[in-house]
A and B are shown apart, each in its own frame.
Chain A
């Protein structure tokens, strides 16, 4: 189990950043994440940030504050943030807590977040790109 010790990866997807928020974040980790994300946006000029919270088992007011704060900070740099992966239980709790992710856009799934940033889904029946990797064996 991750217990607030692992560094959260920041994944570049074209001009977007994808952050799978996971584990349990101490203030130090939240601060680290904020610093890393802002530095990455600055370096890469990212146009959008996706915070995927599928890996969080619960959201309390602290986590809402961390996510909201991150979105506010990126907005100042001209980068939009979408939070995705909030499951039904978490959504209900956020609501019954009277919390809201103020000014933060949400999407149900990662796919929907990507669509919202204008990323097109691959057409059906695309050639398997792995075919082009020499020597790659399909395991079926």
Chain B
């Protein structure tokens, strides 16, 4: 079970997150966590649109020995994130805090990656070489590993 969605415009993000929810349900997740997996896809997909270059989202069922769950990989060809430690903080971009007055203008509040981490059991960021990517996993039976 693998769903691959190229992210070129907002409609692709909608497609990717719907597919993610369907796949999560098929793997056996209840409605609420399936929705959360869709949100992870939505956040990572929106980031590709806003900051990335030629990206895609691959959602798949995990394979043994990884415990059963759903894996989300979001990759793009843009330059790596300046400072991932800052970027994952709520209210932060990758270079520092976001001015609340600019929330709308820049179309974000800096909560996306924080949300991805809170909604995932495992989170990784790989700056490259090659394409940079994020990998988030949600296990059917939860345990948490966060690595940035």
A residues bordering B, Cβ < 8 Å?
A: 3-4, 24, 26-27, 57-62, 64-65, 68-69, 72, 89-90, 92-93, 96-99
B107 near A62 with CB under 8 A, answer yes
Would you call B111 an interface residue if the criterion is a C-beta within 8 Å of the partner chain's C-beta atoms? yes
Interface of A is mostly: helix
User: Which A residues lie within 8 Å of B32 (CB)?
Assistant: 89, 92-93
B124 to nearest A CB, angstroms? 19
The complex places the Cα of A64 from the Cα of B17 at a distance, in Å, of 17
Q: Which of B11, B17, B103, B111 is in CB contact (< 8 Å) with A4?
A: B11
B104 near A69 with CB under 8 A, answer yes
Going nearest first, the 6 A-B pairs with the smallest beta carbon separation are A97-B115, A26-B10, A60-B42, A69-B104, A24-B14, A61-B111
B residues bordering A, Cβ < 8 Å?
A: 9-11, 14, 17, 31-32, 35-36, 38-39, 42-43, 46, 90, 103-104, 107-109, 111-112, 114-115, 118-119
User: Which B residues lie within 8 Å of A26 (CB)?
Assistant: 9-11
A71 to nearest B CB, angstroms? 11
Q: Which of B14, B35, B36, B112 is in CB contact (< 8 Å) with A61?
A: B112
User: Which A residues lie within 8 Å of B103 (CB)?
Assistant: 65, 68-69
B39 near A58 with CB under 8 A, answer yes
A61 near B104 with CB under 8 A, answer no
Given A60-B46, A65-B109, 12 new contacts (CB under 8 A): A24-B11, A27-B107, A58-B35, A61-B108, A64-B109, A65-B107, A65-B108, A96-B118, A97-B39, A97-B111, A97-B115, A99-B109
A97 near B109 with CB under 8 A, answer no
A69 to nearest B CB, angstroms? 4
User: Which B residues lie within 8 Å of A24 (CB)?
Assistant: 10-11, 14
Q: Which of B17, B104, B111 is in CB contact (< 8 Å) with A98?
A: B111
B86 to nearest A CB, angstroms? 16
A61 near B115 with CB under 8 A, answer yes
Nearest-CB residue, chain B, relative to A5 = B11
User: Which B residues lie within 8 Å of A69 (CB)?
Assistant: 103-104
A64 to nearest B CB, angstroms? 7
CB<8 Å pairs between A and B, sample of 10: A24-B10, A27-B10, A60-B42, A61-B46, A61-B108, A65-B103, A90-B35, A93-B39, A98-B114, A99-B109
